[in-house]
Structure 1
Amino acid sequence: MADHKVAQLGPGAACCGWNHCGRRLAAGAVDGSVSVYDSQPSPSSKWQAHEHAIAAVVWLPPDYGDAIACVCADGTLSLWEEIAEDDQLPIWRKCKVFEGGSSHILNVQFGVLLSSLKMVIAYSDGQVKVYELLDSLELDKWQLQAELQNITDPVSRIGKPACISASIAWSPRRGEGQQASFAIGFNSDSPNFNSCKIWEFEEAHQRWLPLIELGSPEDKGERVHALAWAPNIGRPYEMIAVATCKGIAVWHVGFNPESDGRLSTENVAVLPSHNGEVWQLEWDMGGMTLASTGVDGMVRLWQANLNGVWHEQAVLDCNGSHQ
């Protein structure tokens, strides 16, 4: 994980997010304002992004400049980019606003495949929309690529779910021949929508297809609170962490389909949670250490030993002391 500097965010901060190099922090506040911190304890920029509280801030990939997405408590999503003109101080300009309509936008994440930027938006009615940026220099030009529901069998759907939150993680793998893929899970009142599923873009037919569902038969349908896709440096499988009320499950997903056409999946560990709901999961840059936060106010670091057995490496409390 990046060597993050501590910023004094103040009592009004509701959420925050580091950029990809870990040197800039964007913080959303309950009054709808957004502040960006560099190396100083005071913000380098602050502006009013929404009228209501900011629920989440997400940085766009660095290839597309300094830009962030803000999810607002009123269910809308706005995109902002930093603009520097002549010798004036940089300002943040609103590029695009996405309305939730009859439902609320819960989460957004960005993925890059070769030269294409894609955006996944999850909604409170269980809908998932995938957008593609048409012009890398114009962050207001997005095209709807697909609308889908996080279910493997459309016949099984009964009514619309009520979703509290959604967790999204793009595959970190890039390169020629790699298909775009992301994992998504919901925290809803409908088990069919909840379980973490991996979606992959089928180039031949230009469509998104559910690739695999992560979960043992007895656990499928558990509400997903957080998930994270580990960077892959030389492993012959992908590694994804999924947090539910039963703990944090670490999954191995194989690259090559088996005889039945499905990818192999193996639940290699179930880590104890934080005496309640897990709020966030994050892998380090090498995909070796998993960090988790939750309602107990702790940050827990997890690692596997040489035998593949996962254990708690360290516990950090809110004051930064070790246990």
Structure 2
Amino acid sequence: MEKSVATLDKGTICSSWNYCAQRLATGSVDGTIAIFDTSDPASSFFTSTFRFKVNDGSVVKVVWVPPEYGDAIACICSNGSLSIWEEVTQDSEPVQWKQCKVFGGPMDQVLDSQFGNSLFGLKMTIAYSSGLVKVYEILDSLELKNWQLQAEFQNVTDSVTKYGKASCSSASISWSPQRNEARPSSFVLGFNSDTSQLNSPKVWEFDKDHQRWLPVAELADPGDKGDQVYAVAWAPNIGRPYELIAAATSKGISIWKMASNPDSDGRLFVDKVVTFPCHNNQIWQMEWDMSGMTLATTGTDGRVRLWQSNLNGVWHEQAVIETTT
């Protein structure tokens, strides 16, 4: 039997779940962020405990900062700004959410941002409407206002070639969920832009020896490298000898298998496992479950679809969730 777990504000258009703290953050068209908690650990119903205004425009994305760095969120607004808000308690004053950093804006719009929690500290990747990618790192784990620019580059496999300012309408970033000394920090990124070279999803790894980010894989067939990318999602890996990454374009949702170890040229072998046609349904968002076995997608058709692989490795649509009203 289906059961409601929260009643969201009217105008809610984005949300993010904090698995560790069991909290929900939502963003609305009126620029408001709402935080939901449950007062009883045994209860599964969440109510709004904090509500605060972050922008005059709408909030288009909200994401939690990794829990090791406190209770904090980042939100992207329709004016292109990215702001980081932290829950703080000062002496006997009530708990408040305070803004501690702002990136981007109308002249340099942020399209997407994701945190990467490596062994060497907290990092954040930001994709801009100009086609630039910037990676920041935190200088002090207790100060979310102190970020340092670590790298700036374009999403191309040939890092020597530079392209002019692009016009990008969206971007999608997904960090590798793995954290161990054997694997370098890495993320996948794709653009929806007018510059085909920037679009295809590329996997970037941090080269510790030379202190730079390098493209190590491209998730696109030769004829599809210019296709505009709507979403990417890197699956958690529990014991697999390879990585799984999902990428959505106008041609469908593709599941890619990527080798864990590079070849002699430092590249990672990739193989497209399957492509699910979208049937004119533009994908908005994709997310894997914590086991990396089920992929959830949502798009313009208003449905949530769950995709799974059977024991023979054959992928199929496992379920479709539709609204009742």
Please give the TM-score of this superposition, normalised by the length of structure 1.
0.93
Shift of 1:94: 0.9
Over the aligned positions, Cα root-mean-square deviation in angstroms equals 2.0
CA contact (8 A) 2:136 2:151 kept: yes
Closer/same/farther in 2, CA of residues 171 and 41 from structure 1, 3 Å limit: closer
Q: For residues 268-305 of structure 1, what are the alpha-carbon distances to aligned partners after superposition, in whole Å with 9 as ceiling and x for unaligned? A: 11113264201111111111111111111111111111
Native 8 Å contact 1:274 1:294 kept in 2 = no
Residue 294 (structure 1) aligns with = 299
1:7 aligned residue: 6
Of 110, 115, 119 in structure 2, the residue corresponding to residue 110 of structure 1 is 115
Amino acid at match of 1:16: S
Q: How far is the alpha carbon of 1:115 from its aligned partner?
A: 4.2
2:143 to 124, 138, 147: 138
Q: Deviations over 1:153-203 (max 9, x none)?
A: 256655322111110000111012321000000011111111000011000
Partner of 1:179: 184
Deviation at 1:261, TM superposition (A): 4.3
Residue 166 of structure 1 is matched in structure 2 by 171
Residue 5 of structure 1, CA deviation: 6.3
Corresponding residue for 1:34? 33
Q: SS state of the match for residue 218, structure 1?
A: helix
Distance 1:88 1:260 in 2: 57
Native 8 Å contact 1:187 1:224 kept in 2: yes
Q: Which runs of 5+ in 2 are unaligned?
A: 39-44
- Number of the residue aligned with 2:224: 219
Identity %: 56
Inter-partner Cα distance in structure 2 for 1:317 and 1:79: 33
The answer to whether the 8 A contact 1:103-1:123 is kept is yes
Contact kept in structure 2, 1:5 and 1:23, CA below 8 Å? no
Deviation of residue 6 (structure 1)?
A: 3.2
How far 1:259 moved relative to its partner? 5.1
Cα gap change, 1:100 to 1:147, in 2 (>3 Å): farther
Amino acid in the other structure paired with 1:19: N
Query: Is the CA contact 1:231–1:286 (under 8 Å) kept in the aligned structure 2?
Result: yes
Asked if 1 retains the 8 angstrom alpha-carbon contact of 2:229 and 2:249, the reply is yes
The normalised TM-score by structure 2 is: 0.92
Distance 2:201 2:139 in 1: 29
**Gapped runs of 5+ residues in structure 1?**
none
Does the CA-based 8 Å contact 2:217-2:268 persist in structure 1?
A: yes
Residue 269 of structure 2 aligns to a residue whose secondary structure is: strand
